[in-house]
């Protein structure tokens, strides 16, 4: 959906309210959407035009067509590893389902590997595994395996793993590999044990590939059976992979209807570069320590996956760096905030073997036993939902605020993408990556400019027209980049749907390029889609700044620090950095939404300004301060005691 259609949809949303009401809506994490099985809903049309190259309107962001799929049912699962790179070979791979039509022998049940060796300018595609024996491949993850000391792209391998359908049910798991000279093709269909294995695929230098999935039953409730970790070990003799499976049987608290308090699709895995240290995680409420909200539950291996141990369940409400951004629970005195982790979470392992979970964290709604699965969504766009890097340390856990999401996931019923039971929605699709040496961590996500976002039926701003946002931080220097919207003001503005990012980034003399794809789509999920590679999303060393307390906004015109000190009794200070001269103001509201303070500072020049706030007339409690520069706002929480 490109610019013309974008304008049409914006006009079509004119009947919706664009008001910024301070409304909090509860959301129950345990109600999981049913994953569609569109095995029989195939189309035979396909795009037949030449590869297209779309130049951005500013900067160096541009779009290159990679390939096509018969429909969108290859890109719905954000934890898939659809994009992978090998830095030593300057190689990029995009893995997806095939296309169908008179001009192609490839069916939608085949899996395609598209590779580029020139930075994404041109692409070459070929099948990595084909449908066979009534098994049709779906939702693939892909990776690149490069044998030790190899310097030739033709001698490297593409790997793909994913679930198979027989047209009615999920019946098999496929594991496939092929040499990039199109030899040594190998594909195997395994018993699926009811699991859909496709999450967190990665390759380690010990000649192994790792990927995970879960077995569950959706009727009558989501019953988690077992998580399966699938490991492929390269067989030098046969030039293929030997596959093995490890089962995890988590011990979650059970609901009254028998459903586990665990988000079954949130299982994921990440590994150190050498494959020695591995992590498996999900979110849930664990029987060993019930912290009364959905929080990460993690298993760790320090012997290449031979044995696993569950890490002690941690109460993340002990981390003020997280709770400072969250609304307090209802009916609890004194005010308390408890994190409720979203299933939108990915991870990487850094140079020190520590796990970094890039997570969207919302506020738990209540401490009441009947409401432990609920969390807050906040309707005012200036009260955002924060993103954190939540990471392990030698002393336990810590967190770092990376950015904010200002809109909510688009419900299928309001997306306009399909209708009825065939409608498809989408969320922010958080993605995680690292540099090859593990010293720099990157996150990307999709969010809609709040000046464009329509208000949905729940009075919340919808992520209807997503842009690509990204941020990075250096785990050695502790410096962080600003959160950056890379597609605003370009031909991709508001049009980056179902994006994927590689788990590794390219590093070149202080430039860090994030390999990211998105798709072109129309209004029918069953219609053909185009996979595109986005060129030009990168940071440089100079982008990693010392002051990481600043928080960029949607329009990248204003940065605001957390007030200091916080909590405070009488006076506190807030640093504001303006990209350009703007009218600057601040207002403070209490937790009921009442305005208790405001000040307009008039027009201020670009640069850093310090705002002094006196709390002499404020009662003890939790407040939210909103700094506004022009049409751009940033809101943070502060505490008066």
239 Ramachandran zone, left/alpha/beta (phi>0; psi -120 to 50): left
The tens digit of pLDDT for each residue in 249-269 reads: 666 666 555 555 666 667 899
SS (H, E, C) 186-229: EEEEEECCCEEEEEEEEEECCCEEEEEEEEEECCCCCEEEEEEE
Q: 86: alpha, beta or left, given left = phi > 0 and alpha = psi -120 to 50?
A: beta
pLDDT, mean of residues 601-611: 89
pLDDT more than 90, % of the chain: 49
**Which residue from 143, 131, 128 is spatially nearest to 184, judged by alpha carbons?**
128
Task: Answer yes or no: are the C-beta atoms of 520 and 451 closer than 8 Å.
Answer: no
pLDDT exceeds cutoff 80 at 415: yes
Q: CATH 2.120.10.10 in the chain, residues?
A: 3-556
Highest mean pLDDT among 37-51, 215-229, 449-463, 467-481: 467-481
Handedness of CA 225, 229, 230, 235 (dihedral sign): negative
Is residue 306 predicted with pLDDT exceeding 90?
A: yes
The pLDDT, as a whole number, for residue 205 is 96
Per-residue confidence band for 104, with pLDDT thresholds at 50, 70 and 90: low
Q: For residue 610, give Cα distances in angstroms to 176, 553, 573.
A: 58, 18, 7
Please give the pLDDT value at position 223: 53
Q: Which CATH class is domain 3-556?
A: mainly beta
Give the mean model confidence (pLDDT) for residues 58-86: 89
What average pLDDT does range 295-303 have in this prediction? 93
Query: CA Rg, the chain, in Å?
Result: 24
Q: What is the reported pLDDT for 255?
A: 58
Cβ-contact 536, 70 below 8 angstroms? no
First to last CA, the chain: 50
- Residue 108: the pLDDT is 82
Choice between 287 and 156, residue whose per-residue pLDDT is larger: 156
Kindly indicate the confidence band of residue 179, based on its pLDDT and cuts at 50, 70 and 90. Answer: very high
In 364-417, the DSSP E strands lie at 374-378, 385-393, 396-405
Average pLDDT over residues 441-453: 92
pLDDT of amino acid 584: 92
Q: Predicted confidence band at 557 (pLDDT cuts at 50, 70, 90)?
A: low
Shortest CA distance to 496 belongs to which of 458, 477, 476, 470?
A: 470
Q: What is the pLDDT of residue 529?
A: 92
- Show the tokens assigned to 638: 């502060």
Q: Is the pLDDT of residue 115 over 50?
A: yes
Alpha-carbon distance of 253 to 260, in angstroms, equals 6
The answer, yes or no, to whether residue 21 has pLDDT greater than 60, is: no
Round to whole Å and give the CA distance between 6 and 493.
9
What is the Cα–Cα distance from 491 to 156, expressed in whole angstroms? 35
The pLDDT of residue 254 is 61
**What pLDDT sits at residue 52?**
24
Give the confidence band of 524 by pLDDT, cuts at 50, 70, 90.
very high
- If pLDDT is split at 50, 70 and 90, which confidence band does 56 have? very low
**Cα angle 252, 293, 80; round to 5:** 70
The confidence score (pLDDT) of residue 247 equals 82
Is pLDDT above 60 for 103? no
Distance CA(87)–CA(493), nearest Å, equals 29
The pLDDT confidence band at residue 98, using thresholds 50, 70 and 90, is confident
Give the pLDDT of residue 174: 94
pLDDT for 100: 56
Mean pLDDT of 227-236: 93
Strand 278-284 to 295-301 pairing: antiparallel
**For residue 10, is pLDDT > 90?**
no
Q: State the average pLDDT over residues 448-452.
A: 86
**Domain boundaries for CATH 2.60.40.3080 within the chain:** 571-640
Q: How confident is the model at residue 635 (pLDDT cuts 50, 70, 90)?
A: confident
Distance CA 212, CA 232 (A): 12
pLDDT value at residue 54? 26
Residue 90 pLDDT > 70, yes or no? Answer: yes
| Highest mean pLDDT out of 37-41, 304-308, 635-639 | 304-308
Q: What is the mean pLDDT of the chain?
A: 82
CA distance 622 to 30: 28
Q: Mean pLDDT: which of 88-97, 125-134, 569-578 is highest? A: 88-97
Mean pLDDT of 117-136: 91
pLDDT for the residue 339: 93
Say which range, 147-161, 228-242, 325-339, has the weakest mean pLDDT: 325-339
Higher pLDDT, 204 or 293: 204
pLDDT tens-digit series, residues 531-550: 999 999 999 998 898 655 55
Cis omega before residue 334 (within 30°)?
yes
| CATH architecture of the domain covering 571-640 | Sandwich (2.60)
- The residue that leads in pLDDT, 167 or 467, is 467
C-alpha to C-alpha distances, 6 to 9, 456, 460, 464, nearest whole angstrom? 5, 17, 20, 10
By the 8 A CB rule, do 281 and 299 touch? yes
My answer on whether omega of the bond before 410 falls inside 30° of 0, hence cis, is no
What's the pLDDT at 315?
94
pLDDT for the residue numbered 226: 73
pTM above 0.75? yes
pLDDT of 380 higher than 70: no
| H or E element in which residue 10 lies | helix 3-12
Q: Residue 553 in 3-state DSSP?
A: coil
What pLDDT is recorded for position 462? 92
For residue 434, pLDDT over 90 is answered with yes
Q: Give 12 or 616, the one with higher predicted confidence.
A: 616
Instruction: Considering only residues 123 and 168, tell me which one the structure prediction assigns the higher pLDDT.
Output: 123
DSSP calls for 320-373: HHHHTTSPPPBT-SS----EEEEEEEEEEE-TTS-EEEEEEEEEB-BSSGGGTT
Give me the pLDDT at residue 107, please.
76
């Amino acid at each position: 959906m490109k610019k013309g259609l974008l304008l049409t949809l914006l006009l079509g949303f004119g009947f919706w309210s664009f008001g910024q009401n301070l409304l909090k809506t509860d959301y129950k994490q345990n109600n999981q959407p049913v994953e569609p099985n569109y095995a029989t809903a195939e189309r035979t049309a396909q795009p037949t035009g030449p590869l297209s190259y779309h130049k951005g309107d500013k900067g160096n962001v541009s779009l290159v067509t990679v390939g096509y799929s018969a429909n969108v049912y290859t890109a719905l699962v954000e934890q898939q590893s659809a994009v992978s790179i090998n830095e030593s070979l300057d190689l990029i791979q995009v893995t997806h389902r095939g296309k169908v039509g008179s001009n192609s022998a490839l069916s939608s049940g085949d899996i395609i590997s598209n590779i580029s060796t020139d930075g994404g300018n041109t692409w070459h595609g070929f099948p990595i595994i084909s449908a066979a024996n009534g098994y049709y491949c779906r939702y693939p993850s892909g990776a690149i395996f490069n044998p030790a000391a190899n310097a030739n792209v033709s001698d490297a391998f593409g790997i793909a793993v994913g679930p198979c359908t027989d047209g009615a049910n999920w019946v098999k798991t496929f594991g496939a590999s092929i040499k990039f000279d199109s030899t040594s093709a190998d594909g195997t269909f395994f018993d699926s044990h009811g699991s859909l294995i496709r999450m967190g695929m990665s390759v380690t230098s010990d000649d192994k590939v790792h990927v995970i999935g879960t077995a569950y039953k959706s009727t009558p409730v989501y019953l988690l059976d077992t998580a399966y970790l699938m490991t492929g070990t390269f067989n030098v003799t046969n030039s293929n992979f030997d596959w093995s499976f490890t089962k995890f049987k988590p011990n979650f608290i059970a609901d009254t209807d028998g459903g586990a308090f665990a988000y079954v699709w949130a299982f994921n895995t990440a590994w150190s570069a050498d494959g020695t240290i591995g992590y498996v995680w999900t979110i849930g409420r664990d029987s060993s320590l019930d912290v009364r909200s959905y929080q990460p539950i993690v298993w760790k291996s320090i012997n290449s996956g031979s044995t696993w141990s569950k890490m002690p369940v941690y109460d993340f409400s002990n981390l003020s760096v997280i709770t400072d951004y969250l609304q307090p629970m209802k009916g609890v005195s004194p005010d308390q905030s408890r994190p409720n982790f979203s299933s939108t979470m990915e991870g990487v392992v850094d140079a020190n073997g520590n796990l970094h979970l890039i997570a969207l964290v919302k506020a738990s709604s209540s401490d009441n036993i009947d409401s432990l699965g609920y969390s807050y969504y906040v309707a005012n766009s200036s009260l955002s939902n924060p993103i954190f890097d939540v990471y392990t340390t030698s002393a336990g856990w810590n967190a770092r605020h990376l950015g904010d999401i200002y809109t909510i996931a688009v419900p299928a019923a309001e997306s306009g993408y399909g209708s009825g039971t065939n409608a498809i929605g989408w969320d922010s699709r958080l993605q995680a990556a690292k540099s090859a040496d593990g010293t720099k961590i990157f996150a990307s996500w999709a969010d809609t400019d709040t000046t464009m976002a329509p208000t949905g039926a729940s009075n919340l701003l919808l992520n209807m027209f997503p842009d690509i946002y990204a941020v990075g931080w250096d785990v050695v220097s502790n410096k962080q980049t600003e959160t950056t919207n890379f597609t605003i003001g370009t031909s991709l503005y508001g049009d980056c749907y179902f994006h994927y990012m590689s788990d590794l980034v390219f590093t070149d003399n202080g430039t860090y390029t994030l390999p990211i794809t998105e798709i072109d789509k129309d209004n029918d999920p069953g219609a053909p889609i185009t996979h595109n590679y986005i060129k030009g999303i990168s940071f440089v060393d100079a982008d990693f700044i010392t002051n990481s307390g600043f928080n960029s906004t949607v329009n990248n015109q204003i940065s605001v620090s957390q007030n200091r000190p916080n909590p405070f009794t009488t006076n506190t200070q807030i640093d504001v950095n303006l990209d350009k001269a703007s009218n600057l103001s601040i207002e403070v509201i209490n937790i009921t939404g009442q305005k208790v303070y405001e000040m307009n500072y008039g027009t201020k020049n670009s640069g850093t300004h310090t705002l002094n706030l006196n709390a002499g007339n404020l009662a003890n409690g939790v407040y939210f301060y909103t700094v506004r520069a022009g049409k751009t706002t940033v809101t943070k929480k502060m505490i008066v005691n």
